[in-house]
A and B are shown apart, each in its own frame.
Chain A
């Protein structure tokens, strides 16, 4: 059984035997990540319409379905519509505090069972209950922490009130976001990730970050593309215009 010291020492010895193949440096990092993140935010505050247009093109290119509503009050109707079309009976959502709206009451009128995660309810019983509900639900509704235009990607941080399975187990994933989430390039995502991790315990209540680019897919059988292997078969993005 190798211990850490012995393992690292072997590597250190090998590294010391050679200067390497060529002079090389790693990627430049922002000296002040928080400031750099603010700069990105400011840029996007100006450029959000272009970013949104780009996002829509890329999102649809990976088979995402794009929706646009004037304000948060209009969101439940979109979700209700999707549920009706698919004969869905049961939904799971993030904590309304994380979503910015409460889907439960609006959708209960449609006869849908809506189960929202609740930040702070994380005991074993809640855990088991949630797993059973998430496995049963046909639609999962989340927010999006970043929305990347360049690739049509939704970036979700897991955490309190924002379970991982909401965007994973149901057949349909709906992500609701506003203009303040938009980013244009992967490079900007890098800046935001640096900023988040500069003080990770404060910035993130969970241990997972998911980049979601379209539905689950595979081409493992004769290179024929099929969707919904393990993750959702459909991904919907609802853009809320009102700032």
Chain B
């Protein structure tokens, strides 16, 4: 049935709902992550207090963000690293490309970084003749498949093992069974060579400690360690909001980050990188570059979306979101999916970009419940919707309906009258005491659900008998 009100987002969402593979994968994966997180926090009584502290540290840091960034930069430079300042995605790409050109970089191995996805770095590198190689297994899979990640921490969650086996067999020219152990070993072997040969390692940063100039990577596979120790150049791309003041702050976040993301007490590897290799070291990059990325973040410091800057990119909100659980990450259409993704997209691309996405939420609040830094996502979604009204981004047809609704609510007479009118208009649609097959906007409801009819006597009409 065609729907004149169908939008690109609702189209993508609809397609996702019809994808049986995806539905099954989402169900299993999100349920697993939810259970793991729940179990981890249930045996961890300090968890709630740590979440409060983590939130406070993020807020306190934002209140002096400029100072902390300057201290971070000073320390990185003192250590022999170079700091670059990228206001836009384009600038960030330019910085990395220039480095590649000046240093004769032909291949770059990458550890998982949402920031590099955000700025579309891989495409830019390829156009410049540099081969970027994703080494996080999930990212490696989707790179081979020419797809985008569908989840912040489990990028290939939408792929079955059969699909991965097929993919590897085709791209790596072999015959591999649909066995995760075998496929992992295949990836290990294929990528080990790349680590050893690559000219540059590119990472993001989960945190950067201002006091010491340390960049922190939280990973499980070991590729984060590889790319920061084997190639001769290490480039870390980091959103400015990732800076934290001290090592004492760092351990607060470490205590809750992995628990929130995967239910682990700590991920397999937490790697603290303090500049390029030191004089006494046999291994490590000769050069360390920290690229600080703004790309719309600073504009949010004094906005209603400020809290979104606390985000640790753990993915917990995705896993519990009733919408994400039904449609997966690709349907959102942007780098960051799920509840926080809507806010980040507004932050990075402007309010108009979330004209539809801002409504991709039932405001149930499950996200806020699990966020390690207690970001009040539902409140910010409502604020965002407020912006869509005030900036007249919401469609005028919708605004007309809501303004009319308001008038109805301000006048009891009009309200009473509308019930009477409704009672009369609904008559052709009442079947066995329910409304079915309604036209227009109401049809969107009755396509899949019954609606109760306007009561023969409203409560107000019955009140006189009750009093």
Per-residue CB proximity of B138-168 to A under 8 Å, as 1/0?
A: 1001000000000000111101110010000
Contacting residue for A231 out of B63, B160, B245, B269, CB 8 A? B269
* In the complex, chain B residues whose CB is within 8 Å of the CB of A219: 154, 262
Tally of contact residues, A, Cβ under 8 A: 85
Is A104 in contact with chain B by the CB < 8 A criterion? no
B41 CB → nearest A CB, Å: 15
Is A242 in contact with chain B by the CB < 8 A criterion? no
B154 CB → nearest A CB, Å: 6
Interface pick from B121-129, B279-287, B327-335, B450-458: B279-287
Is A66 in contact with chain B by the CB < 8 A criterion? no
* In the complex, chain A residues whose CB is within 8 Å of the CB of B247: 190, 193-194, 197
Interface pick from B80-88, B362-370, B393-401: B80-88
Is B420 in contact with chain A by the CB < 8 A criterion? no
Contacting residue for B222 out of A197, A206, A230, CB 8 A? A230
Is A186 in contact with chain B by the CB < 8 A criterion? yes
Cα-based distance from A195 to B25 in the complex (angstroms): 46
Residue of A nearest to B278 (CB): A207
* In the complex, chain B residues whose CB is within 8 Å of the CB of A209: 271-272, 274
Per-residue CB proximity of B256-273 to A under 8 Å, as 1/0?
A: 000000101111111111
Q: Is the CB of B65 within 8 A of A212?
A: no
Is B69 in contact with chain A by the CB < 8 A criterion? yes
* In the complex, chain B residues whose CB is within 8 Å of the CB of A210: 225, 269-272
Cα-based distance from A228 to B187 in the complex (angstroms): 10
Cα-based distance from A160 to B279 in the complex (angstroms): 8
Is A111 in contact with chain B by the CB < 8 A criterion? no
Which chain A residues (62-86) contact chain B, with CB distance < 8 Å?
62
Is A113 in contact with chain B by the CB < 8 A criterion? no
B216 CB → nearest A CB, Å: 9
A192 CB → nearest B CB, Å: 9
User: Beyond A208-B273, A217-B268, is A163–B91 a contact (Cβ under 8 Å)?
Assistant: no
Residue of B nearest to A206 (CB): B281
Q: Is the CB of A215 within 8 A of B268?
A: yes
Q: Is the CB of A186 within 8 A of B248?
A: no
Per-residue CB proximity of B55-89 to A under 8 Å, as 1/0?
A: 11101111111100110010000010001011100
B311 CB → nearest A CB, Å: 14
Which chain B residues (295-344) contact chain A, with CB distance < 8 Å?
298-299, 301-302, 306-307
Per-residue CB proximity of A141-179 to B under 8 Å, as 1/0?
A: 000000000111100001111011100100000000000
* In the complex, chain A residues whose CB is within 8 Å of the CB of B273: 207-208
Q: Is the CB of A122 within 8 A of B281?
A: yes
Q: Is the CB of A11 within 8 A of B65?
A: yes
* In the complex, chain B residues whose CB is within 8 Å of the CB of A122: 279-282
Q: Is the CB of B251 within 8 A of A221?
A: no
Q: Is the CB of B64 within 8 A of A15?
A: yes
* In the complex, chain B residues whose CB is within 8 Å of the CB of A120: 280
* In the complex, chain B residues whose CB is within 8 Å of the CB of A229: 137, 184, 187-188, 220-223
Per-residue CB proximity of A209-225 to B under 8 Å, as 1/0?
A: 11111111111111110
Size bin of chain B's contact surface: 35 or more
Residue of B nearest to A201 (CB): B278
Q: Is the CB of B283 within 8 A of A231?
A: no
User: Beyond A14-B299, A27-B53, is A4–B83 a contact (Cβ under 8 Å)?
Assistant: yes
Q: Is the CB of B281 within 8 A of A207?
A: yes
Q: Is the CB of B154 within 8 A of A26?
A: no
User: Beyond A159-B280, A221-B156, is A189–B66 a contact (Cβ under 8 Å)?
Assistant: no
Cα-based distance from A93 to B28 in the complex (angstroms): 42
User: Beyond A24-B63, A207-B79, A208-B229, is A213–B267 a contact (Cβ under 8 Å)?
Assistant: yes
A interface, CB within 8 angstroms of B: 1-4, 6-8, 10-12, 14-15, 17-22, 24-30, 58, 62, 117, 119-122, 126-127, 130-131, 135, 150-153, 158-161, 163-165, 168, 186-187, 189-191, 193-194, 197, 200, 204-224, 226, 228-232
Q: List 27 A-B contacts (CB under 8 A).
A: A7-B292, A11-B240, A15-B64, A15-B66, A20-B63, A24-B57, A26-B244, A62-B264, A62-B268, A119-B280, A165-B283, A168-B225, A187-B251, A190-B251, A200-B212, A200-B274, A208-B284, A209-B271, A210-B225, A210-B271, A210-B272, A213-B264, A213-B268, A223-B28, A228-B188, A230-B135, A231-B225
17 further A-B contacts with Cβ under 8 Å, apart from A218-B220, A231-B221, are: A15-B302, A26-B56, A120-B280, A160-B280, A164-B284, A194-B248, A205-B280, A206-B280, A206-B281, A211-B269, A212-B269, A213-B267, A216-B268, A220-B154, A221-B141, A222-B159, A226-B181
